[in-house]
C-alpha cells in the first residue's frame, strides 16, 4: 500500500502529534528518504505544488463551509481580522458585533465570551471606514507554539514547575541561545547587509513573581558550560605550569625554544561588570558573552558610576547591539583594548515601578533596543510539577549544539561569522513582514513614542529568524542518528517556517512594547499631579468637561474622532456642566484641556474629506487601540490579506492518520535495519513531523509511489 505522504503536509501539527502520542515510539525510521531528487527541479515543483494546493484548499473550504474550526490561540486574531474587513466595508459597530457573535458560535472552539467579542467589535468599530485599522492581536501570552519542539517543551514544563508565566522562561531562553551562536553565524538579509543573533531582553514583574528562578533556569546551559570551561582551564593551567617550569629549568645549548603558551580563561556568562572589564573578557572570548542581570535597573545605575556620570557606557552598549568594534583606552596601557567585532546578549528582570529608570531622560535609543515582556501576574500556588531530566538535557543539548558551531576568522584573526541565507520562500515572508512594520510606522496616527522600538523590530525580525533556524538545526542533530543530520543541506538555511515563527514572536514583543512605552509615556506626562489645579473662571468651566471626556474615551477603548460640533452636541446631550455657548468656544476649551501638561487627553487634528476633524485619545491607552493592538491594515493589499485570513482559519480535510503513520513506521524500520552502524533507535515519528514542519521535506505525490526530498 502506497500512502500519499503529501497529506501529511496538510495535517495540523497538533493532530499529527496527538495521533503519535497514542502510538508506541517508532522503533526505526525507514526509506522515508529513499529518493533524493535533484534540486534543479525544485523551483518548478514549488510553483506547481503551490497552485495545486491552493486549488484543493479552495475546494475543501467550499465543501466544509461553516465546519471550519478556529482553535484557541487564534480566536481573537481571526475575529479581529474579520471585524477589520467588515469595518472597511462601512459596517457599523452593532452590525460587526452581530456578525462576530454568529461567527464565534459557529467556528470558535470553544467560543469566546460575549463580552470579549463585544470588545473586539468596539475596538475595530471606532475607526473610520476604509482608513488604516490597527487590529488587536491575542499575543499577550508568550507564543510557545512558535518554538521548535524541544524548546517549547522546556518552556512549558519549566513554567509549570516554577509557577510563572512562560515568557519568564521563553524570553531569556532566546537570549541564552543567541549567546551560544555568538559570532559564529549571521543571517545575510541581502548583499552587504547581515544581522547577528544579538538580543537585549528584559522581563518585567513584581517582587516575588519568580523572575529570578526563571532566569536561573533559562540561563542554566550557559552557566553549566561556564563550569565546564572553568574545569578545563584549571587543568590546562596546571599543565602549563608544569611545562613552564621544565622550560625555565632546562639548559639549551644550540637554541632556546619558545615558552609554552599560557591558557586563556574562556567565559560564557558575565555579571556585575564594568565596560572596561567586559572589553577584556570579549578580547579573550571572540564568540561573545551573555550578560546575566538579575535586576536590569542595577545594570543601568552602574553605568558611568566610576566616572562621575561623564563616561560613555551607554554608547558602549549602543555599539555592542550593532556588533561594532570597541576601543577602550586605559591609563598605564600604551595600546588600547580593541574588540574587532563585539557580541553581548543581555537578559535581566525589572520591577514595573522602576521602569522609568531605563529611560533615564535619555533619548539615545538604548531603551528602544530592548525586547520587553510584561506578562500578567499569575497566582502562586504549590505544585508538584517538575521539569523532567530529559527535557532539561534536551535544552542543554541545543545550547551545546549551537556553541559547537566554530567561529571562523579572517586573515587578521578577527571573527568572521559564516553567512546563513534565506530560502526563496522564507525571503518572501521576511519582506512582507518587514514592509508591514514600515507601513505601521508610516501611518499618520502611529504614536511617536513607539517609532523607536518599531524601527528595531525590523532588525529583530531577522535576528529571531536566525536563532529559531539555528536552534531547529541543532535540535534535528539531537533527535536521531547522524544519518539524518547528514541528509540535511551542508550549509544552514533559514526556512519559511523559521521566519513565520519569528513573525509571531515579533507580534508578541510589539504588544508588550506598547504596554511598556504607554506606561512610560504616561508617567512622563504625569510628572506633577493627576489633578488639575485650575484657578481662573474659564478653567473652572472646563473641569467637569475634562472629567467627562476622560470617561467618554474610556468607554470607547480610549479613542474617538469626529467634528468638533459633533462632540459638542454629545456633551450637551450628556448635560456636561459649564459648556460654552457654541462649538467654536467649545473647541478652544477642549484644546486647552488637552494642552495641559498633567492631563491624560491627547488631541490630534485631521480631515474627513473637506471637513476638519479632531482625534481624541488617552495617553494611558495610546492611539494604536490598546496594549495589544499593533497590526496595521491598509486598503492596499486587502485581497491578499483576506486570502491570509482564510489560511488562518482553514482546517484540513480528514485524513487516514493511522495508514500513513504505519507506512512511515515500516519504512523507518527498513532504513535503520539497513544501517545498524547508526546505533540507537530514534524517536522517528518526532523526526518525521519536525522535518515536515520546519520545511526540510518536499512531498511529490505520484500514482505509483511517493518521492520525498530534502529542501535546500
Residue 504 and residue 563: Cα distance in Å, rounded?
A: 38
Q: Is 521 helix (H, G, I), strand (E, B) or coil?
A: helix
Q: Which of 38-52, 214-228, 437-451 has the weakest average pLDDT?
A: 38-52
Rg (CA), the chain: 29
Residue 67: pLDDT over 60: no
**Cα distance from N-terminal residue to C-terminal residue, the chain:** 29
Model confidence at 8, pLDDT cuts 50, 70, 90, reads very low
Taking each continuous run of H as one helix and of E as one strand, the counts in the chain are 24, 20
Residue 222 and residue 114: Cα distance in Å, rounded?
A: 46
Residue 460 and residue 455: Cα distance in Å, rounded?
A: 9
Identify which of 74-83, 244-253, 287-296, 443-452 has the greatest average pLDDT: 287-296
Q: Is 628 helix (H, G, I), strand (E, B) or coil?
A: coil
Residue 286 and residue 663: Cα distance in Å, rounded?
A: 48
pLDDT in tens, 676-695: 655 555 555 555 544 444 44
What is the average pLDDT across 222-234? 95
Go through the chain and tell me how many residues it has: 712
Residue 363 or 432, more confident: 432
The two most distant CA atoms of the chain are separated, in Å, by 109
Parallel, antiparallel or unpaired: strands 269-270 and 601-608: unpaired
Residue 132 and residue 151: Cα distance in Å, rounded?
A: 36
Residue 372: pLDDT over 50: yes
Measured in whole angstroms, how far is the alpha carbon of residue 214 from the centre of its chain?
Answer: 18
Residue 359 and residue 190: Cα distance in Å, rounded?
A: 33
Instruction: Calculate the alpha carbon distances from 350 to 24, 297, 651 in Å.
Output: 45, 6, 41
Identify which of 135-144, 243-252, 298-307, 703-712 has the greatest average pLDDT: 243-252
Residue 498 and residue 427: Cα distance in Å, rounded?
A: 11
Residue 300 or 657, more confident: 300
Closest CA to 292 of 365, 200, 393: 200
Dihedral pair phi/psi, residue 202, rounded to 5°? -150, 135
Residue 356 and residue 353: Cα distance in Å, rounded?
A: 8
Residue 445: pLDDT over 70: yes
Closest CA to 60 of 701, 706, 659, 647: 647
Other Cβ atoms less than 10 A from the Cβ of 351: the count is 16
pLDDT at position 73: 66
pLDDT at position 397: 95
Q: Which three cell numbers stand for residue 141?
A: 501570552
Angle in degrees, 0-180, between the axes of helices 13-21 and 657-674, rounded to the nearest 10: 70
pLDDT at position 54: 54
Identify which of 19-23, 361-365, 512-516 has the greatest average pLDDT: 512-516
Mean pLDDT of the chain: 74
Residue labelled with grid coordinates 475634562 = 546
350, containing H or E segment: strand 344-350
Other Cβ atoms less than 10 A from the Cβ of 500: the count is 19
pLDDT at position 528: 36
pLDDT at position 52: 55
* Residues in contact with 280: Cβ distance below 8 Å, sequence separation at least 6, in sequence order: 337
Dihedral pair phi/psi, residue 320, rounded to 5°? -65, -35
What is the average pLDDT across 466-472? 95
What is the average pLDDT across 375-391? 88
pLDDT at position 307: 52
HSE-CB at 439 with a 13 A cutoff on CA atoms is: 17
Could you tell me where the DSSP H helices lie in 578-656?
Answer: 583-595, 638-649
Residue 549 and residue 149: Cα distance in Å, rounded?
A: 49
Could you tell me where the DSSP H helices lie in 197-295?
Answer: 211-218, 220-249, 275-284
Looking at 553-705, which runs of residues are DSSP E strands?
559-562, 601-608, 611-618, 629-633, 697-701
Model confidence at 327, pLDDT cuts 50, 70, 90, reads confident
Residue 166: pLDDT over 70: yes
Parallel, antiparallel or unpaired: strands 344-350 and 200-204: parallel
Percent of all residues in the chain with a pLDDT value above 70, rounded to a whole number: 67
Model confidence at 596, pLDDT cuts 50, 70, 90, reads confident
Residue 561 and residue 157: Cα distance in Å, rounded?
A: 46
Residue labelled with grid coordinates 574587532 = 340
Residue 116: pLDDT over 60: yes
Contact 179, 268 (CB under 8 A): yes
Residue 413: pLDDT over 80: yes
What is the average pLDDT across 1-13? 39
Identify which of 119-133, 612-626, 631-645, 697-711 has the greatest average pLDDT: 119-133
Residue 663 and residue 57: Cα distance in Å, rounded?
A: 25
pLDDT at position 523: 62
Contact 668, 480 (CB under 8 A): no
pLDDT in tens, 614-668: 888 876 543 333 333 333 333 333 333 333 333 333 333 333 333 444 555 556 5
Q: Which of 84-98, 108-122, 291-305, 649-663 has the weakest average pLDDT?
A: 649-663
Model confidence at 128, pLDDT cuts 50, 70, 90, reads low
pLDDT at position 664: 53
Residue 149 and residue 403: Cα distance in Å, rounded?
A: 19
SS (H, E, C) 139-158: CCCCCHHHCCHHHHHHHHHH
Residue 57: pLDDT over 80: no
Domain coordinates of the chain in residue numbers? 5-65+669-710, 537-618
Residue 126: pLDDT over 50: yes
pLDDT at position 381: 83
pLDDT in tens, 503-545: 999 999 999 998 888 878 766 555 434 434 433 333 344 447 8
pLDDT at position 333: 66
Which residues are 293's β-sheet partners? 348
Cis peptide before 573 (omega within 30 of 0): no
Q: What angle do CA 381, 383, 389 make, to 5 degrees?
A: 145
Which residues are 373's β-sheet partners? 203
Amino acid at each position: 500500500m502506497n500512502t500519499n505522504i503529501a497529506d501529511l503536509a496538510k495535517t495540523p501539527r497538533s493532530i499529527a502529534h496527538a495521533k503519535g502520542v497514542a502510538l508506541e515510539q517508532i522503533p526505526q525510521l525507514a526509506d522515508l528518504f529513499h529518493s533524493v531528487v535533484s534540486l534543479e527541479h525544485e523551483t518548478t515543483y514549488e510553483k506547481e505544488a503551490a497552485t495545486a494546493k491552493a486549488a484543493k484548499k479552495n475546494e475543501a473550504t467550499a465543501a466544509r463551509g461553516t465546519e471550519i474550526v478556529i482553535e484557541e490561540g487564534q480566536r481573537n486574531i481571526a475575529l479581529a481580522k474579520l471585524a477589520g474587513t467588515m469595518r472597511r466595508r462601512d459596517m457599523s459597530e452593532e452590525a460587526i458585533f452581530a456578525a462576530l457573535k454568529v461567527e464565534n458560535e459557529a467556528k470558535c472552539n470553544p467560543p469566546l465570551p460575549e463580552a470579549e467579542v463585544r470588545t473586539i467589535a468596539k475596538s475595530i468599530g471606532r475607526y473610520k471606514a476604509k482608513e488604516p485599522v490597527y487590529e488587536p492581536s491575542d499575543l499577550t501570552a508568550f507564543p510557545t507554539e512558535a518554538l521548535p519542539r524541544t524548546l517549547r517543551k522546556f518552556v512549558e514544563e519549566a513554567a509549570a514547575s516554577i509557577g510563572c508565566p512562560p515568557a519568564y522562561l521563553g524570553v531569556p531562553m532566546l537570549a541564552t541561545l543567541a549567546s551560544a551562536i555568538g559570532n559564529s553565524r549571521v543571517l545575510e538579509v541581502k548583499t552587504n547587509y547581515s544581522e547577528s543573533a544579538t538580543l537585549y531582553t528584559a522581563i518585567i514583574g513584581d517582587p516575588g513573581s519568580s523572575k529570578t528562578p526563571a532566569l536561573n533556569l533559562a540561563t542554566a546551559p550557559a552557566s553549566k558550560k561556564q563550569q565546564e570551561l572553568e574545569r578545563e582551564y584549571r587543568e590546562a593551567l596546571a599543565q602549563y605550569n608544569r611545562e613552564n617550569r621544565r622550560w625555565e629549568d632546562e639548559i639549551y645549548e644550540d637554541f632556546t625554544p619558545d615558552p609554552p603558551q599560557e591558557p586563556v580563561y574562556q567565559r560564557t556568562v558575565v555579571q556585575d561588570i564594568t565596560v572596561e572589564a567586559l572589553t577584556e573578557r570579549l578580547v579573550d572570548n571572540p564568540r561573545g558573552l551573555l550578560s546575566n542581570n538579575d535586576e536590569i535597573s542595577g545594570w543601568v545605575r552602574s553605568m558611568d558610576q566610576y566616572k562621575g556620570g561623564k563616561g560613555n557606557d551607554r554608547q558602549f552598549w549602543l555599539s555592542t547591539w550593532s556588533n561594532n568594534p570597541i576601543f577602550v583606552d586605559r591609563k598605564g596601557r600604551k595600546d588600547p583594548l580593541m574588540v574587532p567585532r563585539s557580541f553581548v546578549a543581555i537578559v535581566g528582570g525589572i520591577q514595573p515601578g522602576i521602569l522609568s529608570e531605563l529611560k533615564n531622560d535619555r533619548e539615545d535609543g538604548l531603551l528602544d533596543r530592548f525586547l520587553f515582556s510584561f506578562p500578567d501576574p499569575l497566582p502562586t500556588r504549590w505544585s508538584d510539577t517538575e521539569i523532567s531530566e530529559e527535557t532539561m538535557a534536551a535544552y542543554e543539548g541545543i545550547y551545546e549544539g549551537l556553541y559547537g558551531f566554530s567561529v571562523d576568522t579572517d586573515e587578521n584573526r578577527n571573527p568572521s561569522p559564516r553567512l546563513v541565507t534565506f530560502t526563496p520562500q522564507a525571503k518572501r515572508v521576511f519582506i512582507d513582514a518587514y514592509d508591514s512594520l514600515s507601513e505601521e510606522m508610516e501611518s499618520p496616527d502611529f504614536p511617536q513614542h513607539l517609532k523607536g522600538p518599531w524601527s528595531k523590530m525590523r532588525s529583530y525580525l531577522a535576528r529571531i529568524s536566525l536563532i529559531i533556524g539555528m536552534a531547529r538545526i541543532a535540535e534535528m542533530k539531537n533527535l536521531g542518528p547522524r544519518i539524518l543530520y547528514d541528509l540535511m543541506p551542508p550549509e544552514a538555511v533559514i526556512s519559511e517556517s523559521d521566519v513565520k515563527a519569528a513573525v509571531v514572536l515579533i507580534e508578541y514583543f510589539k504588544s508588550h512594547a506598547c504596554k511598556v512605552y504607554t506606561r512610560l509615556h504616561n508617567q512622563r506626562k504625569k510628572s506633577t499631579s493627576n489633578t488639575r489645579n485650575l484657578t481662573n473662571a474659564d478653567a473652572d468651566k472646563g473641569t467637569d468637561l475634562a472629567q467627562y471626556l476622560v470617561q467618554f474615551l474610556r468607554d470607547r477603548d480610549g479613542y474617538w474622532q469626529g467634528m468638533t460640533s459633533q462632540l459638542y452636541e454629545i456633551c450637551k446631550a450628556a448635560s456636561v456642566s459649564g459648556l460654552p455657548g457654541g462649538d467654536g468656544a467649545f473647541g478652544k476649551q477642549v484644546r486647552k484641556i488637552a494642552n495641559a501638561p498633567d492631563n491624560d487627553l491627547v488631541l490630534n487634528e485631521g480631515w474627513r474629506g473637506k471637513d476638519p476633524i479632531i482625534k481624541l485619545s488617552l495617553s494611558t491607552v495610546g492611539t494604536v487601540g490598546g496594549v495589544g493592538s499593533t497590526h496595521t491594515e491598509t486598503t492596499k493589499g486587502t485581497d491578499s490579506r483576506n486570502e491570509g485570513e482564510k489560511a488562518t482559519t482553514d482546517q484540513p480535510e480528514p485524513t487516514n492518520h493511522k495508514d500513513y503513520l504505519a507506512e512511515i513506521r515500516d519504512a523507518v524500520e527498513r532504513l535503520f535495519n539497513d544501517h545498524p552502524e547508526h546505533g540507537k533507535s530514534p524517536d522517528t515519528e518526532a523526526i518525521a513531523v519536525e522535518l515536515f514542519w520546519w520545511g526540510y521535506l518536499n512531498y511529490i505525490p505520484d500514482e505509483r509511489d511517493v518521492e520525498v526530498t530534502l529542501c535546500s
